[in-house]
Structure 1
Amino acid sequence: MSTNGQIQSESRSARAPAVQITATLEAVMVAMTKRVLGLGCAKVEYAKGKQRCRQEAEYLRYEQVLQLNDQPTDSDGSVVLRPGNKYEYTFRFELPQQGQLVSSYKGKFGYVQYYVKALIERPHQATLECKKPFEVEEPLDVNTPDLLSPTGGMKEKKVTCMFIPDGQVSLNAKIDRRGFCEGEDICINAKFENTCSRIVVPKAAIIAKHIYQANGRTKVFRQKLSAVRGNHIISGMCDAWQGKTIRVPKIKPSMLGCNIIRVEYALMIYVHIPGSEKLILELPLVIGTAGLGSRSNSVSSQEGSVSNASQSWVSLRMPSGPPSYADITSDCRLDQPLTPLLDDFDGDESPIFMNAPTFNFPPPPVYTEVDEEFSGSARMLPVC
C-alpha cells in the first residue's frame, strides 16, 4: 500500500488538502477497517547530562473511516481485497483557521511535522500503514505598526589591561523597522567611538535563536546567518555607518506561536576588541512571509514595463569600442594585493597581527652622463 499524489497545503484560501490513497496488493487481503488520519505535532528531544529531556505538543488530529462502497462487504463489515486490482480513494479535510496552527519546522533538537497516515486493519495480523508528510506555512505579516516602527540602542564597554583602565569603546545603532522578509536589505545607522589603545573592528550579523523547552528546561541554539564588517578604528578615532546594508538570507519565518519551540531572529551589532570580550548590541527582528514588497508589486511591475520600453531604443545603439592599452597608465605599486593593517578574528583569544604591505618598485631608468675631460666633441657614456 502506498500514497500517491501531492497534498496541497499551500492553498490558504480553501485550507483543504487533497489526498489520494492507492492500495496495490500482491496477495488476497481481508480488510476490517480502513482509516485515514491527518496529524500534526511538535516534538523536542535533547540530552541534559544523563537526563533525556523530551516533550510533545499536538496541533492537528483528523480521522476519517474510508468506505469502499463498490466492493462487496461481509457480515462482519470486512472487505476482501484481491491482487491485480487498484483501490483508490480521494478525500479532503479542512485545516483549522489561520493562526491556530504552527508552521512546519525541522531543527537540531526538535521539529514540527504534519502528515497524513493511512491504515488498514486486518484480522489476526499486523495493521498496514503508510504516511506522507506535507508542509504548513502560517502567514506572518510584518506590515503592522509595531514592526514598522524604528528601533535602536546604545552600549559601551570599559577596557582594562592587567586591571589598569585602558579607555572605553561605545556604539550607538538604529534601524528603521523590525519586520523584514527574505531578500530585503536592513539599513544600519550606527556610530562607533574608540578611546582605548587597541585597534577595534565594527561588525554586524543576523542571528537565529532556536529555543527548545522540555521538562521545564530551556535549550538555546544560536546560529549566524550573514555578516558584514566595517573599517578598522584606531585609538582615539570614531567611525559611522550611514545606511550600511545587510541582506536577509533565505530563511524560515519567525516561529512565535509554538509552546515548546520558538525561532527568533536578531540583528547583532558588535565591536571586536582584541584581548577583550566583544561589545554587543542586539536588536530583535521579525522575519515574515508578507513584507513591504507585497504592497508595491503592481507599482513596481508598471514601472518595470515603462523602463523596459524606454530602454528598448538604447539597445539598438552600437557599443563603443574598448579603450587602447596605450591610454592606460599602470602603477606598479598596486600590482600587489592590498592587505589590511590588522587581521582580526571573532575568537576572544585572537592576538593582534600587524601586516605591513610590501611594495615592489621598478628599477631606475637608464640615464647618460657627459665626459667633461674629453676635449673635442662631447661623447655620451651610457651608465646603467
Structure 2
Amino acid sequence: MVAMTKCVKTLDVLFNDPSKTFYCSGDKVAGRIIVEVSQATRVSSMRVCGVGCAKVQYSKGKQRCRQETEYLKYEQVVLLDDQPIDADGSVILRPGNKYEYRFGFELPQEGQLVSSYKGKFGCVQYYVKASMERTGLPVLECKKTFEVEEPLDVCTPDLLSPTGGTKEKKVTCLFIPDGQVSLTAKIDRRGFCEGEDICINAKFENTCSRIVVPKAAIYAKHIYQADGRTKVFLKKLSSVRGNHVISGMCDAWQGKSIRVPKLKPSILGCDIIRVEYALMISVHIPGSEKLILELPLVIGTSGLGSRTNSMSSQDGSVSNASMSWVSLRMPSVPPTYCDLDTPLTPLLDDFDEDDSPVFITVPAFQFQPPPVYTEVEEGYNGNTQMLQVC
C-alpha cells in the first residue's frame, strides 16, 4: 500500500487467494487493485505490470559488479466495471466509494521461470505493480511481491544413477614421505528431497603415521555472476563423522546415513545466480590439508515419494520407540536462501572445533525424566517372584 496523499487515501494490490504460498509456471496470478480517494480525482489510466527478474550486485575492490536477467514482463491496462468513461478514456473517482480494478495474467510455461531467491549479493524477485496515472499529477505506484517455486523432479535417469569417486593424498613430515591417506565413496543417486537420507558406502585407508578422522557434510554452494566475474560461497548444512583411523588401519562405512535438512530446492536454470548442493566426504589429517571428495547433489521439490511421506515413513517407527524421550529440537520452518548465506564460509577455510583425531564431542541430548513406577514385593515361597512394575 502506498503512503497517503492529499487526494488518494488507499492504493493497494490484493491477490484473490492470499493463502497461496507460491506460484508455479502456468499458474494464473489474479487479484484486484483497491482505490479510495479523499476528494474527486480524475484518473487517466490504471496499469498493472507483472515483473520477474534476477539481480546480482556486489563490489570487487573499487569495481562495482551489477547484472540483471528478466524472466517475466507483463503489462495490462485495467478498467473499472460499470463506471462511466470519458471520451479521453479517463474516469472520475469520488470520495466515499471503494473502487476495485481487477487483473489477471498467466505465468510463462515450464522452463521459462526461475524460483524466487534472496541472498546476500543477489535475488530473484516477482511482483505485481499498479500504476495510477493522473492528469497533471505524479504517477502513484503500489507493489506486491509473490513467490515462485519451479517444480524440480529428481526422478530422472541422470539423477537416479549412482555416483562416487576415489581420492588419495600423500603425506609428508618435514619433506620426508610419511605414507598416504585414501578414500573411496559412493552414493546410490544424486537427486534427493528434504527429509530423505543419503546412504554412504565408503572405505578409508591410512598408511601414514597420524590418526585421521573421516567426515561427511552437506554443503550449499551459492554462485553469483556479474560483469564476467564470479563470487562463490559455501555453507555447511549438516554433517556426520566416523571413528578415528589409526596408522596402518582401514575403516569402512556401510550405508552410513546423513539426512537432507529442510531447505530450498536447487536453482540451476538462472544465468547469473545458481544454488547447488554437494556431499563433501573428507578425511581430517593433523598437520596437513583435508582430503576431500565432492559428490554433487540436486535437491528437488518431488522425487521418490513426497517429502512429507518420506519424512513420516522414516520418522514414524523411530518416534514411538525413541523420539518420545529424546528432544532433537528440529526447526519447524524451512530456512530461506538468505539464512543459508549467513555466515558465509569458504570450504578450504572450514575448521571444526571437534576436529581432534582421537577425542570427539558427544551431542548433548535432553532426556525427559523416567516414568514414575512402584514395586510390589510378595513373600518368598521358594519360587521365583516377579516384581510388578506399573
What TM-score does the superposition give when structure 1 sets the normalisation length?
A: 0.76
Corresponding residue for residue 175 of structure 2: 163
* AA at the equivalent of 1:33: S
Displacement of 1:84: 1.7
Residue 282 of structure 1 corresponds to 294
What do the CA deviations read for 1:281-327 (whole angstroms, capped 9, x no partner)?
A: 000111111110149969x99xx9xx9xxx9xxxxxxxxxxxxxxxx
Counterpart-to-counterpart distance in 1, 2:83 and 2:120: 47
Summarize deviations over 1:70-115 as a string: whole Å, max 9, x none.
2233333221112221011222211111111111111121110111
Q: Does 1:273 align with 2:288?
A: no
Residue in structure 1 matched with residue 351 of structure 2 by the alignment: 347
1:62 CA drift (Å): 0.7
- Superposed CA RMSD in Å reads 2.8
Letter in 1 for 2:160: L
Is the Cα contact below 8 Å between 2:220 and 2:278 reproduced in 1?
yes
Q: Distance in 2 between matches of 1:150 and 1:213?
A: 30
CA distance in 2, matches of 1:225, 1:349: 16
Distance 2:175 2:355 in 1: 18
Structure 1 contact 265–285 (Cα < 8 Å) conserved: yes
Amino acid at match of 1:3: V
1:42 aligns with 2:46: no
Measure the CA separation in 1 of the matches of 2:352 and 2:84: 75
- Counterpart residue number, 2:209: 197
Question: What is the match of residue 184 of structure 1?
Answer: 196
Within the candidate set 13, 21, 26, 2:38 is matched to 26
Displacement of 1:11 in angstroms is 5.8
Q: Structure 1: state its 5+ residue gaps.
A: 312-344, 357-384
More moved, 73-82 vs 32-41:
73-82
Cα distance in 1 for residues equivalent to 2:148 and 2:141? 22
SS of the counterpart of 1:77?
A: coil
**Distance between the aligned counterparts of 2:204 and 2:59, measured in 1?**
41
* Alignment equivalent of 1:84, drawn from 96, 104, 116: 96
Q: Which residue, 117, 125, 137 being the options, matches 2:129?
A: 117
Deviation per CA, 1:207-259: give whole Å up to 9, x if none: 11111110011111111111111111111111111000001111111111111
CA–CA distance in structure 2, aligned partners of residues 88 and 296 of structure 1: 39
- Give the structure, 1 or 2, with the largest relative contact order (CA under 8 Å, sep 6 or more): 2
Q: How does 1:324-335 map to 2 (within 5 A)?
A: none
Matched AA of 2:130: A
Aligned residues: 315
Instruction: Give the corresponding residue for 1:329.
Output: none
Segments of 5+ residues of structure 2 without an aligned counterpart are: 1-10, 321-348, 361-390
CA shift for structure 1 position 23:
1.2
In the TM superposition, residue 20 of structure 1 has moved relative to its aligned partner by: 1.9
Q: Work out the CA distance in 2 between the residues paired with 1:171 and 1:226.
A: 20
1:17 aligned counterpart, secondary structure: strand
d(CA) in 2 for partners of 1:104 and 1:351? Answer: 37
The answer to whether residue 225 in structure 2 is matched with residue 221 in structure 1 is no
